[in-house]
Structure 1
Amino acid sequence: MSDFPEWLPELMYLSDYDGDWIRYLDAIYACFRQDFIDSKPVFQGRKLGLKRYPLSHGKEATFWHMISEGKNEADRLPDFRRCERIRWPKPVIEHENDTSIKVWRNQRGREERICLWLVPENYLVILADRGEYILPWTAYLVEQPHQQRKLQKEYEEYQRQKREKS
């Protein structure tokens, strides 16, 4: 892993909670709650909302998307690499102009998404643009080289199209 940007919080490990999943889950949820519920973050001047439903174990859907993986909502499994980085999404969003972050927009189905890729850490935050507000959607490590190449290509294409419009 590279040197962390100074603004990037330390990781939170399950081992810091003696392997106690319930205590760990409570701790990472408290961080998520502080960053996205108790505070009122903004992105490019627009407030960030949350995808609250479906609630699971009293926790919002966005939280589960940031700490777990799987296509079926009911069967998502915790991803400890995501859990460890639960304190990263908000700072990445807040530091979108940092040179270590590549930002671009893309289409996923009928929805416009905003990608924030913290390249040195291969960490991707996805936001959903809902017009008047932005939803944090998910965040995860991009570990596979083919996925990294795909993101780089997507970013370059976005930049090319942006230049052509100017």
Structure 2
Amino acid sequence: MNPPDLLSFNDYGGDWAAYETELNRVFMTEIARGGLTFRGEPVNCRRHDEVAGRWASYWHLIQEGKIEEDRLPDLRRCERLRWVPWVIQNGVQHPEIDEWQNTRKTEVNTLLWYREAYLVILGRRNGYWLLRSAYCTEQRGRIRQLRKERDVHIGI
């Protein structure tokens, strides 16, 4: 079982406005209002603070950068937007999706890592999960860190 096809920028003739509109449509229909559940509880997205009429979670799924106001679109994240619900829906039973927990500051996160290449991060809340972010894992240092966390958690 493989993830959905990529949403390529080139399929929109290099027209960022058309591509971004489609990305937001996919986000709203398949993720924010897609009825996603994980371990029997709903997965919700952060709406506020909206920017340009788009939910905060949407921007976290298609942009990168440490400083909120300076985040920029990342085409690899954009292309894989449909992977977010696929990873969440298949995370429990798919043999190529590893699951573990980590703590960042005071937040406990559940990580779903597909083939050591794509990471979805969920935060546990009272009665639901919060979709925190998702991105490609390409940097060797980040992959090493994630492997170490995962291996400690699953007892390797």
> Which interval holds the TM-score relative to the shorter structure?
over 0.9
- Aligned-residue offset at 1:34: 1.1
- Aligned-residue offset at 1:125: 0.5
User: CA RMSD for the aligned pairs?
Assistant: 1.4
Aligned to 1:133: 128
- Pick the structure with greater CA Rg: 1
When normalised by structure 1's length, the TM-score is 0.89
Aligned to 1:80: 75
For structure 1, which segment, 128-137 or 23-32, has the greater mean C-alpha deviation from structure 2 after superposition? 128-137
Equivalent residues in 2 for 1:1-166, closer than 5 Å: 5-6=1-2, 8-96=3-91, 97-119=93-115, 122-160=117-155
Alpha-carbon distance in 1 for matches of 2:13, 2:60? 24
**4+ aligned runs moved over 4 Å, structure 1:** none
Structure 1 gaps of 5+ residues are none
Task: Give SS of 1:48's match.
Answer: strand
Task: Give SS of 2:131's match.
Answer: strand
Alpha-carbon distance in 1 for matches of 2:150, 2:69? 32
**Larger % of strand: which?**
2
In percent, how many aligned pairs have the same letter?
A: 37
When normalised by structure 2's length, the TM-score is 0.94
Count of residue pairs the alignment pairs up: 155
Alpha-carbon distance in 1 for matches of 2:105, 2:86? 27
- Aligned-residue offset at 1:123: 0.5
